[in-house]
Amino acid sequence: RNLIEPPKIHRLEESVVNRIAAGEVIQRPVSAVKELVENSLDASSTSINIVIKDGGLKLIQVSDDGHGIRYEDLPILCERHTTSKLSVYEDLQNIKSMGFRGEALASMTYVAHVTVTTITGGQLHGYRVSYRDGVMEHEPKACAAVKGTQIMIENLFYNMTARRKTLQNSADDYAKIVDLICRFAVHHINVSFSCRKHGAARTDVHTVATSSRIDAIKSIYGVSVSRDLIEVTASANDPTCLVFNMHGYISNSNYSAKKMTMVLFINDRLVECTALKRAIEVVYAATLPKASKPFVYMSIILPPEHVDVNVHPTKREVSLLNQERIVETVQTTIESQLRCSNSSRAFLPQS
């Protein structure tokens, strides 16, 4: 009989552990942009500007006008598990901020070069400092700065050969970033966003703060989308089983696209929910004569304790209490609202 020696188990070096974890949080350039924009939103910014070079591999720069970062906090800013948003585990149940685990900036320093420039209210100058592998490369340097924070991510995945190669061959990372900013801009209509390629004078997304969702959709997705929308709402308020509130805009039968656009926010978090998306697709396929793919913007508010935000490394998905019933309720509601608009349309004079 052949006796196999068991391999010896050893402890991984911390730098290896950190880089592996970072590779999960930051999967592509767009995941870094999402984390940075969410940080800017968490910092109460009203203006967020993004510059991208080489699909984000060379440079991702996010500038905001938020509350900035304290000088004393700069030394631990990019360490893993350092955050201003969560203190005890129980806070997670009620968390309003998008961040909570202090992983994003740290992750970026393990797979890229990170430079932070920031100024807090009432200061005469700001500070700039660069980070590698969680730590400052030098003391923060005083510098001129406008309100808020600017974060620069350079040479993303410089130390992950395989990841870099795959991404270099894919041409659509910039498009993914633009798509992401459009989604944020449709929901956060009180914030102005811009996104452009490094060196380009023209922006590919540019919004100004507005109080009208329809205006925001018009400026982001165009008049061809915004003129063909119907407002939808649904809610349930039965504390024993289902509490939720949905508000959104969905395209009517005049609108037809090759691909479905679904912009979904749950408790102000940009997330994906395959079950809900499918359910809406089914309604459109069944209700509209031609199988046109819809545009859907939807915001769902649930009691925070019904949403588990900590189920996915990129926070792309959340898990909902009563998900099936929510999906069902939303589905039946928009089905009737869509039918309604469809039949009232039939009586409109043809022009």
Q: Which residues bind ligand ADP (CB under 6 A)?
A: 35, 39-40, 43, 64, 66-69, 77, 83-85, 99-106, 149
- CA torsion sign for 289, 295, 296, 297 is negative
Selection from Mg ion, ligand ADP, none that 117 binds (CB < 5 to 8 A by kind) is none
Nearer to ligand ADP, 22 or 279 (CB): 22
At closest approach, how far in Å is the CB of 69 from ligand ADP? Answer: 5
Task: Output 34 or 163, the one with its CB closest to ligand ADP.
Answer: 34
- Report what 126 binds from ligand ADP, Mg ion, none; CB cut-off 5-8 Å by kind: none
Residues of this chain, 31-50, that bind Mg ion according to CB under 5 A: 39
Q: Name the binder of 102 from Mg ion, ligand ADP, none, CB < 5-8 A by kind.
A: ligand ADP
* CA 4 to mean position of chain CA atoms: 49
Q: Is 104 in the site for Mg ion (CB under 5 A)?
A: yes
- 243, with CB counted inside 10 A (0-12, 13-18, 19+), is middle
Give the Cα separation of 17 and 30 in Å (integer).
23
Residue in the block written with tokens 């061809």: 224
- Look up residue 209 and give its amino acid: A
Q: Is 66 in the site for Mg ion (CB under 5 A)?
A: no
Q: Does 149 bind Mg ion (CB under 5 A)?
A: no
Locate 326 and state its tokens. 């929510």
Contact 57, 66 (CB under 8 A): no
Compute the least distance from the CB of residue 82 to ligand ADP, in Å: 6
Best CA proximity match to 68, nearest among 95, 104, 39? 39
Phi-psi region of 252 (alpha: psi -120 to 50; beta: other; left: phi over 0): beta
Residue 325 site contact among Mg ion, ligand ADP, none (CB < 5 to 8 Å, cut-off depends on kind): none
Q: Name the site residues for Mg ion (rule: CB under 5 A).
A: 39, 99, 104
